[in-house]
Amino acid sequence: MFPVVSLTVFLPLGGAALLVALRGATPRVAHAVGIAASGLALIGAAWMWGRGVPSGGGGFSQVEEVGWIPSIGAAYRVGVDGISLPLVLMTAILFFVSLVFSVRVAERARSYVALFLLLETASIGTFVALDAILFYVFFEVTLVGMYFVIAGWGYEERQRAALTFFLYTLLGSLPLLLAILALYLGSDPRTFDMRAYIDSPPLSGLAAMLALVAMLVTFSVKMPVFPVHTWLPLAHTEAPTAGSVILAGVLLKLGTYGLVRFALQMTPDAFRAAAPYVAALAVFSALYGAFVALAQTDLKRLVAYTSVNHMGYVALGVAVAAASTDPGVRALALDGAVLQMVSHGFVTGALFLLVGMLQERAHTREVGRFGGLLRVVPGLGWAFVLAAFASLGLPGLAHFPAEFQIFLGTFYVYPAAVVVILGIAITAGLYLRAIQLSFLGEPSEAWGGMKDLGAREWLAAAPLLFLTVLIGVAPFVVLEVVHATTRALLP
């Protein structure tokens, strides 16, 4: 079988290695290599999507396996199912549009592009890894790439933001390593094969609960949820625009994906017992993120805090799936959670791109400094309005079908938890306020010469806006793939 999964994972790394070898490469050559490598990875991800996943329910497809460390049962194992496949395609799209947007980066362009390509390999590798050690290696490498992107090309406080991001996520990931060792020691025969852990969870009782707590610590930091979210606003505020797109669109999903793949599938009984507490924390985190976003005057920080809100919804959906004994409700909530991961990548990625485009023109992100921009830059204005309406959950756009399924599943299991729906009202208020202050009214003379979106910017933003509408109007495009796995995920 042609190794399309491995090629999709390592083509970006090959592009990064080529850039390291081309020491005299001009910025133009560096960006051309980056776009080509990322474009080939996108073609590979689309090829994987075309191959699909098993329709009979459960299991992994397109599996590739090579011996690695046989003495401890570790191997190079990769493959996809209905949960990971949409995330792989989303990741490839976001990296491609981010590199298209970044073509004007001239400062140390070779290093910039190489780091993004390294980050793409690590991100896709995390989603397709079927060996726990391999997963952990890819998971950790993402920290390296994003640390240097923030530290090297961020804004005024980029060094502090990069260090905070790195320390939080590095220390937060150590409990996962302990959980992986516990799963390995509990397996018989001992192996790091994640499929074996899923098919027959090796831990039970106190050991399973301790492993679950360790997993929850790691993935809560990565998502993030309250109270371990404090690294996120600073990292987003100081990261370059493309870095913010990848941080929100891809890296946060490593936490929600891990919550499903490890906590839900490998310690199902412990997660079922802990589900009420996880659900309560998710509800609080979602509402907290919405309320704090409402208080922001910096557009980038506003969008960053809405990510805390939306990741709270995802965590709630996974908790409901863990708690329910009804297969239909489990699948409903988990379908919504996975769809929310994908829709958040496109919607929030578009918002960060548009805020970055606005900052390039105005050199500020303060909503109080704008006004009437819809008349001055109608393309940018209407694009922001569309993405903002999607983020607040407007029917017909990407977040609505995802959040509706999560809330419906929550109503079946935890009726009181539907108070989380207030987050939508708060999010609507904060985005309508931002639109009113920044884009409506009479235009300020200070922005009279502002240029609208150019071809490069449309090439980056338009695909994300199109997918935002497509998922909202035809969510079955993604849900058919997701549901093939979620309907048989738990016994």
Least confident residue range of 147-161, 419-433, 440-454: 440-454
Burial bucket for residue 446 (CB in 10 Å: 0-12, 13-18, 19+): exposed
At 327 the pLDDT is 87
List pLDDT tens digits, range 264-293: 999 999 999 999 999 999 999 999 999 999
Q: Reply yes or no on whether the pLDDT at 8 is more than 90.
A: yes
Least confident residue range of 253-262, 335-344, 352-361, 441-450: 441-450
At 448 the pLDDT is 73
User: Percentage of the chain surpassing pLDDT 70?
Assistant: 98
Q: Reply yes or no on whether the pLDDT at 227 is more than 70.
A: yes
pLDDT band at 55 (very low <50, low <70, confident <90, very high): low
At 58 the pLDDT is 62
Joined together, the tokens standing for residue 438 give 């920044």
Region 301-328 average pLDDT: 92
Q: Reply yes or no on whether the pLDDT at 322 is more than 60.
A: yes
Region 52-80 average pLDDT: 84
At 266 the pLDDT is 94
Q: Reply yes or no on whether the pLDDT at 10 is more than 70.
A: yes
Q: Reply yes or no on whether the pLDDT at 450 is more than 90.
A: no
Region 307-319 average pLDDT: 93
What's the chain's average pLDDT? Answer: 91
As a residue count, the chain comes to 491
At 487 the pLDDT is 81
- Residue 306, number of CB atoms within 10 A of its CB: 29
At 490 the pLDDT is 55
Region 342-370 average pLDDT: 90
pLDDT band at 139 (very low <50, low <70, confident <90, very high): very high
Are 239 and 249 in contact by the 8 Å Cβ rule? The answer is: no
Region 423-448 average pLDDT: 86
Q: Is residue 384 part of a domain?
A: yes
Region 340-347 average pLDDT: 95
The whole domain housing 186 covers 4-486
Burial bucket for residue 43 (CB in 10 Å: 0-12, 13-18, 19+): middle
Region 208-234 average pLDDT: 91
Helix (H, G, I), strand (E, B) or coil at 221: helix
Region 93-122 average pLDDT: 94
Q: Reply yes or no on whether the pLDDT at 491 is more than 60.
A: no
Q: Is residue 111 part of a domain?
A: yes
Give the closest residue to 342 by CA, choosing from 224, 237, 463, 475.
475
Give the closest residue to 289 by CA, choosing from 227, 219, 352.
227
Distance CA 105, CA 109 (A): 6
At 56 the pLDDT is 55
At 290 the pLDDT is 92
Domain count for the chain: 1
Give the closest residue to 333 by CA, choosing from 217, 191, 479.
479
Region 29-36 average pLDDT: 95
pLDDT band at 57 (very low <50, low <70, confident <90, very high): low
Q: Is residue 472 part of a domain?
A: yes
Q: Is residue 112 part of a domain?
A: yes
Q: Is residue 351 part of a domain?
A: yes
Least confident residue range of 37-46, 85-94, 229-238: 229-238
Contacts of 431 (CB under 8 A, 6+ apart): 388, 389, 391, 392
Region 386-407 average pLDDT: 93
Q: Is residue 491 part of a domain?
A: no
Q: Reply yes or no on whether the pLDDT at 226 is more than 90.
A: no
Distance CA 305, CA 187 (A): 40
Distance CA 134, CA 183 (A): 14
Region 63-70 average pLDDT: 90
Instruction: State phi, psi for 74 to the nearest 5 degrees.
Output: -100, 140
